[in-house]
Structure 1
Amino acid sequence: MIVMDSRRINDEIAERTGICLPDTKLVAEAIEKAYANGSPMLFNHVMRSALFAHAFTDQRPNSEDRELIIVSAVLHDLGLAEHRCPGIERFEIRSANLARDFAVERGMAGDRAWLLWDIIALHPYDFNLHKEDEAWAVQMGILADVVGAGIDLIDPAVVARIVACYPRLNFKSGFYRLLASEAATSPPPPCHPVTMIRYHELGEYDVPNARDLIAGAPFDD
């Protein structure tokens, strides 16, 4: 695992994974923010998600705003970190609000800052897969790390280097505990009307268990 030092972290990531992150102050400060506000397990998750997202950008040639991709992925769970963040909103909304405030304070312009907000606020759902290429890349990076979706689209050697650089640290059980704590303390997300009808009226909808989805990721822990 890389020791956090924003002055040399990009060089170490490039050396150990072959991935060159945008060498900008915003990226460095976003990584520092995530490191300072999350457990090692959660920090490693957002860093793997960011590196996977970067790898996916090669499949979408219009994913030009790589700085936005990395910052969105690195900060996407900011509101989930140890439940230290104020507010009664769901964790993805807390994360989006905190990330947008962080970016605007550092000069990110309006439309771009709102795209950052959208990407993070929508990441538990499938909306980002149908939006801008940057949103798609971030969503794919997160899905690859949490449930393994799309991981086969990335060179296995690259995946192995990313995981070696940022080990999973019992991510499956640790992340599930974070989500369980969120479920016990925060308002539930809105449910799609079709899901409601299938469950209440048709009686044929089996709601998937997040524990099973996370446990099914093609990683050891």
Structure 2
Amino acid sequence: MIQEVAGIKIPDSKLAKDAADILRDYGNDLLWNHSNRVFLFGAVNGVNAKQKYDLELLYVSALFHDLGLTKQYSSPDLRFEVDGANAARSFLQQYQIPDGAIQLVWDAIALHTTPGVAEHKESEVALLFHGVGLDVMGDGFDQFPEHLREEIIQAFPRNNFKQEIIPAFYEGFKHKPETTFGNMKEDVVQYFRPEYKNKNFCQCILHSPWSE
């Protein structure tokens, strides 16, 4: 196991190792490398911004944030973000983690694809969101120190990430495309199924059962 990358110590408690084992067992190399990069990007941003945050909670949040895409943790009818958040909550409850900390992790995972909200919440939630944004879409790329960015990529390679992550998203929720209504993952469904149309918010209002 790598012990430190980009000045960030990888958590090595039993809880952290058990969380890593779950992602290793049910995820794949794509999700493993992505999740670790997300953790490190978020952690470095936290250090550089002199934010107070719990490194272990950020680590668990990062490891579980895409676990809802896997067959083991995917529900038939919930957003994949909620599936991952629920999995993290069940996991943390086994370690007598305080309810407040568990809720923090739940929020971080559930909101990691919700711009305009996540970045204004607690440090762990915001840092996970920014870590995801940097790794997936390059948000804040030029502001992140290049030498640290390269060190992180060396430890957890991208390996054709751009081309592989979109199909990985789709595989995770193609059986429940309606769960992408109102969030950015609807774009993934339409990438593979251009004919697919989710509900329209305005039509939901106009065709509601209210009489006026």
Alpha-carbon separation, structure 1, partners of 2:73 and 2:25: 13
How far, CA to CA, are the matches of 2:74 and 2:154 in structure 1?
33
Q: Check whether the contact 1:13–1:165 (CA below 8 A) recurs between aligned residues.
A: no
Give the Cα–Cα distance (whole angstroms) in 1 for the partners of residues 15 and 102 of structure 2. 12
User: Which residue number in structure 2 is paired with residue 204 of structure 1?
Assistant: none
Superposition pairs for residues 122-161 of structure 1, below 5 Å?
Answer: 122-126=111-115, 127-161=117-151
1:36-75 aligned within 5 A: 36-75=25-64
The structure 2 residue matched to 1:167, chosen from 157, 161, 164, is 157
Relative to the length of structure 1, the TM-score reads 0.76
Structure 2 partner of 1:210: none
Return the structure number with greater relative CO, CA threshold 8 A, min gap 6. 1
Quote the offset at 1:69 in angstroms: 1.1
The CA deviation string for residues 116-153 of structure 1, in whole angstroms up to 9 with x for no partner, is 11110111111210101121111111111000101222
The one-letter code matched in structure 2 to 1:62 is Q
Q: How does 1:1-221 map to 2 (within 5 A)?
A: 9=1, 12-14=2-4, 17-81=6-70, 83-88=71-76, 89-126=78-115, 127-186=117-176, 187-191=178-182, 196-197=201-202
Q: TM-score, with normalisation over the residues of structure 2? A: 0.79
Q: Which amino acid aligns with 1:175?
A: I
Distance 1:184 1:102, change over 3 A: same
Matched letter for residue 162 of structure 1: I
Which residues of structure 1 form unaligned runs of 5+?
A: 1-8, 202-221
Tell me the CA shift for residue 66 of structure 1. 1.4
41-50 or 62-71, larger mean C-alpha shift: 62-71
Q: Secondary structure at the match of 1:22?
A: coil
Q: Distance in 2 between matches of 1:167 and 1:148?
A: 15
* Percent identity between the two aligned chains: 30
Cα shift at 1:33: 1.4
The Cα shift of 1:113 comes to 0.4
Structure 2, gaps ≥5 residues long: 184-199, 207-212
Alpha-carbon distance in 1 for matches of 2:42, 2:147: 16
Moved more, 18-27 or 151-160: 18-27
- Once the two structures are superposed, residues 137-196 of structure 1 have per-residue CA deviations (whole angstroms, 9 ceiling, x without a partner) of 11111111000101222210111011111111221121110222234211323428xx84
| Partner AA of 1:191 in structure 2 | G
* Superposed CA RMSD: 2.3
CA distance in structure 2 between the aligned counterparts of 1:131 and 1:98, rounded to whole angstroms: 21
Number of equivalenced pairs:
186
